[in-house]
Structure 1
Amino acid sequence: MKLRVAFRFIAVLLVLALAACATGPRVASQADPSADFSRYRSYAFFTPLALEQHGYTTITSNRIRAAVRSQMEARGYVLDEANPDLWINLNAYMQDKTRVTTMPEVDYDYYYSYRARSYVAVPYWRDRTDVRQYTEGTLNVDVVDVRRKQLVWEGVAVGTVGRVDPARQGEKIDAAVAAIFAEYPYRAGGAAN
């Protein structure tokens, strides 16, 4: 019986540890409260996208565009490059960051005491400083009312970017775009999700 309880406890701890490791990007969004989402049915990508600052598309920008297209079409919006209700603008950038943490820790030195005729442990405290360098990536999705030329919704995902193989990079892009659009509460014609 005790073995079974111990096994369940270890299994719960393992599930909690895996859940802690499986965190995705931090996502935030905001909507214009004065926007009338009931009249939006079509969209197009803004030209030129902020993501394509150098005047050409890249493999990554095409993958982000495809992920956004999939999310918009899943919500009932139609791609209409000639006369859209909404423009979608995309921007992404990376920034090198450094995280410095300092923690106090205790250690012991041993000295021989001639009076006690033995070794004595003497504690001393010091600060341990850890420096971690990483790259933080930010992906913005802006939804703009074409007629009013005004931002009506913005979604932002921020997360740590690591080196991954190209197949996994596409999966991570799709997951980040899906996380952003999980915050988008509207469907074509204005019905909330």
Structure 2
Amino acid sequence: MTKKISSVMLNRKFLTATVLTLILAACSSKPTVRSDQATDINFNQYQTFSFVEELATDRAGYTTLVTQHFKDAIRSELTARGFRYVESDPQLLVNFNSNVANRSETRSVPTTSYHYGYYHYRRGIVYAGFPVYSNDVNTVHYKVGTVNIDLVDASERRLVWEGIAEGTLKQEDLEQPREAAARTVALIFENLPTQKN
């Protein structure tokens, strides 16, 4: 019987850990995306775009790989939406930034155990004492990525739209940054007003 009680407690702990892992995996599967725009702007007036001269992801005077990945993804998404890339005199200027931060979170997971104390004589007999409920506290360390994309009216030098994505980075994202950038940019631009609106 003692083996049976121990087995039940072990199964409960395993089940709790499994559920926690599934919840974490679900939370990290898709970033949170939001956008904002100037209320007096009609996006039908814009047909061309280019990038600002010094992008926020460039460091020490040279273009980083992160910049190249995001430029390729943004150019692809805007072109697919009917905008045309030009080298000079664009109607829209694009700027973007990305950031990866380490975060820690303390999570409390309810557990059940049997505390015998004075009632130690009950151990190994046909019945168990009353369960004691407590919480296991776990600290989880993870990386969070944030990406901002700004669209600026080039003639007025005014921000007209911004899209933001924030989410937990998976190992796959860190190992395949080009693909991660493309997925994130596509999600952000789902909130861009189309030229027909």
TM-score by length of 1: 0.78
**Helix, strand or coil at the partner of 2:57:** helix
In structure 2, which of residues 84, 87, 93 is the aligned counterpart of residue 81 of structure 1?
87
Q: Which amino acid aligns with 2:139?
A: V
TM superposition outliers: structure 1 runs of 4+ over 6 Å: none
**Helix, strand or coil at the partner of 1:121:** coil
User: Could you tell me which residue of structure 2 aligns to residue 37 of structure 1?
Assistant: 43
In structure 1, which of residues 171, 174, 179 is the aligned counterpart of residue 182 of structure 2?
174
User: Could you tell me which residue of structure 2 aligns to residue 90 of structure 1?
Assistant: 96
CA distance in 2, matches of 1:133, 1:162: 12
TM-score by length of 2: 0.76
User: Could you tell me which residue of structure 1 aligns to residue 166 of structure 2?
Assistant: 158
Q: Which amino acid aligns with 2:168?
A: T
The sequence identity of aligned pairs, in percent, is 32
In the superposition, relative to structure 1, how do residues 118 and 37 fare at CA in structure 2: closer, same or farther (>3 Å)?
Answer: closer
CA distance in 1, matches of 2:28, 2:191: 19
Greater share of helix: 2
Equivalent residue runs for 1:4-43 within 5 Å: 20=26, 23-43=29-49
Deviation at 1:42, TM superposition (A): 0.6
**Helix, strand or coil at the partner of 1:73:** helix
CA distance in 1, matches of 2:27, 2:153: 38
CA distance in 1, matches of 2:63, 2:135: 49
Deviation at 1:127, TM superposition (A): 2.1
C-alpha offsets along residues 82-140 of structure 1, whole Å, 9 cap, x if unaligned? 101010001001111111112333210343349xx987524323221111110100011
Equivalent residue runs for 1:83-162 within 5 Å: 83-110=89-116, 111-113=119-121, 120-162=128-170
Structure 2, unmatched stretches of 5+, are 1-21
In structure 2, which of residues 39, 46, 57 is the aligned counterpart of residue 51 of structure 1?
57
